[in-house]
Amino acid sequence: MRKLMFFFLGLSALCAPEITSAQNTGEFARTTIDLPADREADAIAYGPDGRLFVLTQAQNSILAIGPQGLDGSETVINLAGSLGVDQVAAATFDQTRGRLLVAGSRFGGSPSGSIFSIDTSTGAFAELFSGSELGGVSEVAVRSTGEIFASNFGFSGTGGIFLIDDTTGTGTLSATEVVGNLDGAAGLVFDANNNLIFQNGNDGTSDGSGDFTAEISLLGITDTAAGLQFDSAPTLLAQNSTGEIDLIIDGEGDFFTTGTLGLYQLDRDASGNLTGTETRLLSDLDLDFSSGLAFLPGSVAFDSNLTIAPGDTSPVLSFVSDSTSRQIISLSLNVAAVPEPTAIPLGMLLVLQLMRRRNRTQ
């Protein structure tokens, strides 16, 4: 009987399906979410639990879609009142403090911008900062060390990047400009070394079609005992990008942008250096103008040539796909196909047949 058991175990190993965590597929899996008629995606952000938070300026509530912004299940988080802004511009989840940050502007004779902290479990919120420096606020981002940064869009060199921090030690946040003289300052992210990557409109230059093009630059940041130290000038990484509205970096350091005609990925050469060109993704879709971006890391790389196996978690990139702001498209990895384990039942039948024969001879 022991010999038969060893035979059975060996046969199972030989006939079990081989599951691979990667195979060439060439494209991402897509999920499209059409928002309710009373919602527009003015800003989106992923939380650590995989829910995609959708903010609409006209609503005193947040639409939470999840998990991973893929299955379309929805929960409404009612805010404890109105944020009191004329435009919700950006959102990000502050992992260091477990809160959602939302940036918005007030228009009128003296434009100003505010950054709010929102408790996504209760809907309670607090205004962390308000000032004229962010009258055209376009993005908010949090460094892994907890510092808040915001961009002010601006025209004709009036845009800039600001550190929102308690510089006086009184508990009151103030805005300190770290990059100025920008035109169309937009997306903000941090690379693996905690340096700031930002996007601006390249002084309003046009690519010939009347659409703004963008520059993407890096501002080096050094942590010191006295606080953050910034490089004297940014380093240009890429220019003439059609994606001029928002920017994210995935876990492998790849850049994705949104703007006129949709979603773009910045190209790299064989050595990993940016080439200055870009590839338009989802070119089969007729997208006029895409805006907000949100990225949720997974257990594997965000690469269209990979698939996920059982137990893996796919990264997800979501973006507001068109100018109506009523549709969100999420990209994720395809699930690896698992062969039907037809050989295992056949092996079991063979073992049973051998056992019957042995019983008959006893």
7 is a domain residue: no
Query: What is the tens place of the pLDDT at every residue in 13-55?
Result: 333 222 223 333 468 999 999 998 889 999 999 999 999 999 9
224 is a domain residue: yes
Supply the pTM of this predicted model: 0.83
90 is a domain residue: yes
What are the pLDDT tens digits along the chain (362 aa)?
333 333 333 333 333 222 223 333 468 999 999 998 889 999 999 999 999 999 999 899 999 998 877 766 889 999 999 999 999 999 999 999 999 999 999 998 889 999 999 999 999 999 999 999 999 999 999 999 999 999 999 988 899 999 999 766 777 899 999 999 998 999 999 999 999 999 998 544 444 444 457 899 999 999 999 999 999 999 999 888 888 899 999 999 999 999 999 999 999 999 988 888 899 999 999 999 999 999 999 999 999 888 888 889 999 999 999 989 999 999 999 987 665 555 455 555 555 565 655 555 55
337 is a domain residue: yes
Question: What span, in angstroms and rounded, lies between the C-alpha atoms of 209 and 234?
Answer: 28
Q: Which two tokens stand for residue 318?
A: 């979501």
Question: What span, in angstroms and rounded, lies between the C-alpha atoms of 104 and 106?
Answer: 7
Q: What angle do the packed helices 2-15 and 343-361 form, to 10 degrees?
A: 160
341 is a domain residue: yes
326 is a domain residue: yes
Which residue range forms the structural domain that includes residue 36?
A: 27-348
The total domain count for the chain is 1
Element (H, E) at 13: helix 2-15
| CATH code of the domain covering residue 45 | 2.120.10.30
Question: What span, in angstroms and rounded, lies between the C-alpha atoms of 211 and 171?
Answer: 42
Other CB atoms within 10 Å distance of the CB of residue 155: 13
Element (H, E) at 140: strand 137-142
In the block, tokens 């220019």 appear at 239
Give the chain's largest Cα–Cα span. 101
Task: Decide if 104 contacts 56 (C-beta within 8 A).
Answer: no
Distances (CA, A) of 39 to 58, 63, 294: 8, 8, 18
Question: What span, in angstroms and rounded, lies between the C-alpha atoms of 176 and 150?
Answer: 10
Q: HSE of 61 in the Cβ direction (CA atoms, 13 Å)?
A: 10
What per-residue confidence (pLDDT) applies to 244?
A: 86
200 is a domain residue: yes
271 is a domain residue: yes
Question: What span, in angstroms and rounded, lies between the C-alpha atoms of 77 and 81?
Answer: 12
